[in-house]
Structure formats: C-alpha cells, structure tokens
Amino acid sequence: MMSDLNLGNSLFQGYNDQNGLMICGYEWGWSKADEAAYEAGELHQPETETEHTFANRARHYGEQAKKWRYDNAVKKWFELWGHPLDENDLGGAFEKSIVLTNWAATQGNHIDNKNKFIQPEHIENFLYHIEKLRPKVILFMGSRLTDYLNHRDVLPRFKQIVGEQTAPLKVEQKASDGTRFKVRFQSFERCEVVCLPHPSASRGLSDKYIALFEPEMNRILSDFKTERGFK
C-alpha cells in the first residue's frame, strides 16, 4: 500500500512513486510560531487532498505554504545548484519526481535527543519508505542523518534495498569566510545519498556557502534527470 506512507506531497505514478528524488529530514516540523497559529485557529488544514508537488505545496495547503522556511530554503538551494523548481501548478516531470518525507513520523520543534532517531520505530519508518519508494537520490536535510543511515541497525538493511556501497562516505567542506558546514556524500548501486545541513535550523548557514557545492550537486541532479529521461 502507498496510502500509508508519511509524505509531504502527492505521489505521481511513474515519477516519484518509484526511482524518484527523496528529500528527507528528521521529523515533521512544529515551530513555536506554528503552535501559536494553531491555537489562534490560523493554520489551514485542508479536509480533502489537492494534488501538489513539493515545489508547490500551496496547491493543497494554501498561501500559508509559501511562507514555510524549510521549503523555501530547499527550493532556493535547487536554484543555486542550477536546477530551479517550477512552482506553477504541478510543474514538469522533475517536480513530480520529488517526494518529501522524514526519517521519523513524529512532529517536533527541536532535536534534543540524538538517540531518538535510532529507536526501532523510527528506523522502521525510514526503511519502510525506502522499500516502497526506492529513491534514486536521497537528500538528507540534517547533519546527523548519515550517522543514522550508517548505524549498524540500519545500513545492512538499507543495502539490501539499494545495493552495495560503491563510494564510501565522504565529507566535504568548502573554503569560506563564514561557518564551514560539512556536506556528506555516499553512493550505492542504486542510490546516491547527500547529507546537507538543516535548511532552517543551522545557525550561520548562508546561501552563498550552499552555492559552493554547485559542481557536486549539479552533477548528481543532472545524472538523475538523464537517467530518468527528464530535460
């Protein structure tokens, strides 16, 4: 079944239901501002689903979605890497190939327990989504997520789905006047993994620094498009 997946956008058959590009964070966000808006009755939760891509979640959630920091940061990063997302209607094949999810199905506003995400229920949630969706590219949004991926209780099972490792975990930093965040790359037979800083919770993270990774990210995204037959 696909209806039990924990996703932040619609599934499109032949695009992101298999072999897509997965954007994966820790858990669903719930900021103090979200909590206040909810208590004030200002958060809009549609009763019925309208098909929507990650690039245009406003199709389903309304104008409030255009203010979401996490989404806006990630969309800006795609632009900096030379692959801007079409936010009009449902966009094109590339936009439909993207699926938004999280390692855990829980909701929180801060990551205060690094061991939380290697609890069995959260490992099972992640691996269930990998098994069902079999992504070609995973963009982890949060520096600890490759630690969880390479945990002894996760990596062997992950490799059963995506194949053996073809390039070991590599940590890259760029020369910068600001904070030099680490970006991690790891390759498997049927999946490329990139672990980036958290888009909305990494203090000192700048678009200028993220743009320095354009050569690596452009290659990964271009290869993905070529393999999937997207322009």
What is the C-alpha separation between 55 and 192, in angstroms, rounded?
21
Listed in sequence order, the residues at least 6 apart from 3 whose beta carbon sits closer than 8 Å to its beta carbon are: none
Q: Is the pLDDT of residue 33 over 70?
A: no
Structure tokens at 43: 């958060």
| Nearest C-alpha neighbor of 51 from the set 90, 1, 102 | 90
Q: What would the pLDDT profile of 135-158 be if each residue is shown by its tens digit?
A: 999 999 999 999 999 999 999 999
**Most distant CA atoms of the chain, gap in Å:** 51
Amino acid identity at 229: G
Structure tokens at 200: 């909305």
Q: Is the pLDDT of residue 25 over 60?
A: yes
**C-alpha distances in Å from residue 164, one per residue of 24, 69, 144, 202, 210:** 21, 35, 21, 31, 29
Average pLDDT over residues 26-37: 58
Residue 35 is predicted with a pLDDT of 42
Q: What would the pLDDT profile of 47-93 be if each residue is shown by its tens digit?
A: 678 999 999 999 999 988 999 999 999 999 999 999 999 999 999 99
Indicate the SS3 state at residue 26. Answer: coil
Q: Is the pLDDT of residue 41 over 70?
A: no
What is the C-alpha separation between 167 and 45, in angstroms, rounded?
42
Residue 32 is predicted with a pLDDT of 46
Asked if 219 and 137 count as a contact pair (C-beta separation under 8 A), the reply is no
Average pLDDT over residues 196-210: 90
* H or E stretch at 79: helix 69-80
Average pLDDT over residues 98-103: 97
